[in-house]
């Protein structure tokens, strides 16, 4: 049984904010703003758990952040035009109807986290216990994650103009109710993300911390950030070194992380905290969670049946009938039409769970290998590109491997195969200035327009509109181009 502390209610009592400002108007009155009341490591842990609980909500990683990057690409799609994900898939949002979820929830996390950091940063550095150092490291990593999510959804890719365009407001201080910040540049936001992750990596423990971020998870997120801003050598060095350290034997102070094997790949998704998951958001039947609005229930045919794999993805995977990833896909035929369902979020049957209680893997070691492979291609290191790419290719089918010169297109193709359903595809395409082509017959909605069937990052809706209520609350927030 997973050991998850039920402290969210306590946290909300300790850390409730008040007032009328842009952050508070953008979030429900149950917000767990933290800072003034934190007087101990115990209370800081309560606030930290409150932040993880916000990530668990279906309006954040519990569903929307997890599926957003895929249903806006070519590999996952809405199973009908009235489903919960349909407007995302169809790019049907505008400046007036864009939901606040992917803006408000990261800022709620930032509000919690900055209260924790205000407490820890006011303590003498020599008085910080190992527990407080780890709390600070987790807080910095979560602050980086929230800013990272905000800037990739609401800001243009860094590579478009070296980060000169507008990103999101950076929040690194306990929020002042009179503050009406304007948007920082994309570069400034990524600089903050990288600084926080570099600092977090120095503080975090390497021990397994189920349901929370440890040093290995922070380092993988850091390598992803380096990749997004074109610091390819740093992306390669950070990811490859992390892989080496993570693979070393476990001890009481250090967890061991390894790629799943080919033999276990099909069954391991239903298990808790396995050796490839660096950071996984835990969902427990007895705790608050995303419920039927969660990603598992949306992908489940017996659930809400909202999201299916597209013909484009199945054509990609069918190029190798022996690819182990076929084993986590269920085919269902109705009226001579085949539907394909992704089973990455099945819940844990051993604990009586269904997909409604599925955990959400946020950082997997597989991605670290693919980051290393992509970065190696970009720095001209074909030997290492082959090494890290083949770790994933051969795991999928031991009879297969890649030889010769590895191209960026080949790595991105493998990212599609391996990371589908984990929220990466739109961002992988736009940051690399690649085109998304929804070619398969499954993309048959009459509401799909030409510009939503074939597009690249010049299509303005690949960057989400700032929700209207956020601009109404803070008129210093400038809307994205095109809306």
Q: How many CB atoms sit inside 10 A of residue 449's CB?
A: 12
Would you say residue 7 has pLDDT above 60? Answer: no
Q: Give the whole-angstrom CA distance, residue 447 versus residue 452.
A: 9
Q: How far apart are CA 44 and CA 113, in angstroms?
A: 9
Average pLDDT over residues 426-452: 98
Quote the CA–CA distance of 339 and 308 in Å, as a whole number.
Answer: 7
Quickly list DSSP for 218-240: HHHHHHHHHHHTT-HHHHHHHHH
pLDDT tens digit sequence for 190-218: 999 999 999 999 999 999 999 999 999 99
Percent of the chain with pLDDT over 70: 92
Task: Specify the pLDDT at position 25.
Answer: 44
Specify the pLDDT at position 30: 27
Angle, alpha carbons 361-378-451 (nearest 5°): 70
- The two structure tokens encoding residue 189: 């936001």
Which pLDDT score, from 0 to 100, does residue 456 have? 98
DSSP conformation letters of 364-419: EHHHHHHHHHHHHHHTT-HHHHHHHHHHHHHHH-TT----SPPPHHHHHHHHHHHH
Cα Rg of the chain, angstroms: 21
Categorise residue 83: left if φ over 0, alpha if ψ from -120 to 50, beta otherwise. beta
Q: Could you read off the pLDDT of 252-270 as tens digits, one per residue?
A: 999 999 999 999 999 999 9
Integer angstrom CA distances of residue 176 from 25, 111, 466, 482: 13, 10, 21, 31
Alpha carbon distance 78, 4 (integer Å): 33
Please give the pLDDT value at position 286: 61
pLDDT band at 289 (very low <50, low <70, confident <90, very high): confident
Separation of first and last alpha carbons in the chain:
48
Per residue in 218-259, pLDDT tens?
999 999 999 999 999 999 999 999 999 999 999 999 999 999
Give 309's DSSP letter.
E
Is the pLDDT score of 31 beyond 50? Answer: no
Question: Who contacts 45 (Cβ-Cβ below 8 Å, separation ≥6)?
Answer: 5, 7, 135
**Residue 20 pLDDT > 70:** no
Contact at 8 Å (CB) between 422 and 429?
no
What is the pTM (predicted TM-score) of this model?
A: 0.93
Q: Which secondary-structure segment (H or E) carries 299?
A: helix 295-299
Sorting pLDDT into bands at 50, 70 and 90, what band is 36?
Answer: low
Q: What is the pLDDT of residue 284?
A: 81
Dihedral angle at the C-alpha atoms of 361, 366, 368, 373, nearest 10 degrees? Answer: -150
**Three-class DSSP category at 90:** coil
For residue 136, give both structure tokens: 């600070």
Contacts for 144 with CB less than 8 Å, ≥ 6 apart:
192, 193, 194, 196, 197, 200, 218, 221, 222, 225
pLDDT given at position 127: 85
Tell me if 32 sits within 8 A of 11, measured CB to CB. Answer: yes
CA atoms within 13 A on the CB side of 396: 23
Of 367, 469, 452, nearest to 22 by C-alpha is 469
Q: Give 407's contacts (C-beta < 8 A, 6+ positions apart).
A: 377
DSSP string for residues in 456-470 = -TTSGGGSPPPPHHH
Residue-wise pLDDT for 294-320, tens only, equals 999 999 999 999 999 999 999 999 999
Q: How many helices (H) and strands (E) does the chain have?
A: 20, 8
The confidence score (pLDDT) of residue 125 equals: 86
Task: Report the alpha-carbon distance of residue 366 to residue 207 in Å, rounded.
Answer: 19
8 Å CB contact between 279 and 213: yes
**pLDDT at residue 174, as a whole number:** 80
User: Could you give the CA distance from residue 299 to residue 293 in angstroms, rounded to a whole number?
Assistant: 10
5 pLDDT higher than 70: no
Strands (E), 94-234: none
pLDDT exceeds cutoff 50 at 8:
no
41-54 core/surface letters (b: 16 or more CB in 10 A; e: else): bebbbbbbbbbbbb
**How much is the pLDDT for 3?**
40
Q: How far is CA 376 from the centre of its chain?
A: 23
The span from the CA of 24 to the CA of 26, in Å, is 5
- Tokens in use for 477? 């927030």
How far apart are the C-alpha atoms of 252 and 295, rounded to whole Å? 33
CA distance 377 to 371: 10
**Domains recognised in the chain with CATH numbers:** 11-343+352-473 (1.25.40.390)
Mean pLDDT of the chain: 92
Q: What is the largest CA-CA distance in the chain?
A: 69
DSSP-derived letter for residue 35 is S
29: pLDDT strictly greater than 50: no
């Amino acid at each position: 049984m997973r050991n998850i502390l039920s402290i969210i209610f306590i946290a909300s009592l300790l850390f409730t904010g008040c007032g009328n400002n842009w952050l508070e108007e953008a979030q429900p009155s149950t917000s767990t703003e933290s800072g003034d009341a934190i007087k101990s490591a115990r209370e800081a842990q309560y606030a930290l758990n409150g932040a993880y609980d916000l990530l668990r909500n279906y309006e954040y990683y519990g569903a929307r952040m997890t599926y957003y990057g895929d249903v806006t690409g070519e590999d996952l799609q809405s199973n009908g035009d009235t489903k919960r994900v349909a407007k995302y898939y169809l790019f049907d949002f505008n400046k007036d109807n864009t939901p606040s979820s992917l803006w408000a929830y990261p800022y709620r996390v930032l509000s919690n986290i900055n209260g924790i950091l205000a407490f820890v940063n006011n303590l003498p550095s020599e008085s910080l216990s190992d527990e407080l150092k780890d709390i600070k490291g987790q807080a910095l990593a979560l602050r980086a994650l929230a800013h990272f999510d905000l800037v990739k959804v609401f800001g243009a890719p860094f590579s478009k103009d070296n980060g000169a365009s507008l990103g999101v407001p950076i929040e690194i201080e306990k929020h002042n109710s009179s503050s009406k910040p304007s948007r920082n540049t994309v570069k400034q936001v990524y600089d903050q993300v990288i600084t926080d992750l570099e600092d977090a990596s120095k503080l975090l423990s390497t021990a397994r911390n189920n349901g929370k971020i440890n040093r290995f998870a922070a380092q993988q997120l850091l390598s992803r950030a380096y990749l997004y801003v074109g610091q390819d050598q740093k992306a390669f060095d950070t990811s490859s070194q992390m892989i080496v350290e993570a693979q070393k034997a476990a001890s009481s102070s250090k967890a061991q992380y390894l790629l799943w094997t080919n033999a276990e790949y099909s069954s391991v998704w239903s298990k808790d905290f396995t050796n490839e998951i660096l950071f996984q958001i835990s969902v427990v039947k007895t705790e608050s969670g995303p419920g039927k609005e969660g990603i598992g229930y949306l992908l489940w045919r017996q659930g809400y049946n909202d999201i299916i794999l597209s013909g484009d993805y199945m054509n990609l995977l069918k190029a190798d009938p022996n690819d182990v990833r076929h084993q986590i896909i269920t085919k269902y035929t109705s009226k001579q039409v085949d539907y394909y369902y992704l089973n990455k979020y099945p819940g844990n049957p051993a604990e009586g769970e269904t997909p409604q209680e599925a955990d959400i893997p946020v950082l997997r070691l597989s991605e670290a290998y693919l980051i290393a492979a992509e970065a190696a291609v970009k720095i001209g290191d074909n030997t290492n590109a082959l090494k890290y790419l083949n770790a994933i290719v051969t795991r999928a089918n031991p009879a297969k491997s890649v030889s010769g010169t590895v191209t960026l297109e080949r790595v991105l193709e493998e990212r599609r195969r391996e990371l589908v359903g984990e929220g990466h595809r739109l961002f992988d395409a736009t940051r690399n200035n690649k085109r998304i082509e929804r070619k398969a017959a499954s993309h048959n909605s009459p509401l799909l327009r030409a510009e939503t069937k074939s597009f690249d990052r010049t299509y303005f809706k690949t960057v989400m509109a700032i929700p209207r209520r956020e601009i109404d609350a803070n008129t210093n927030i400038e809307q994205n181009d095109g809306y």
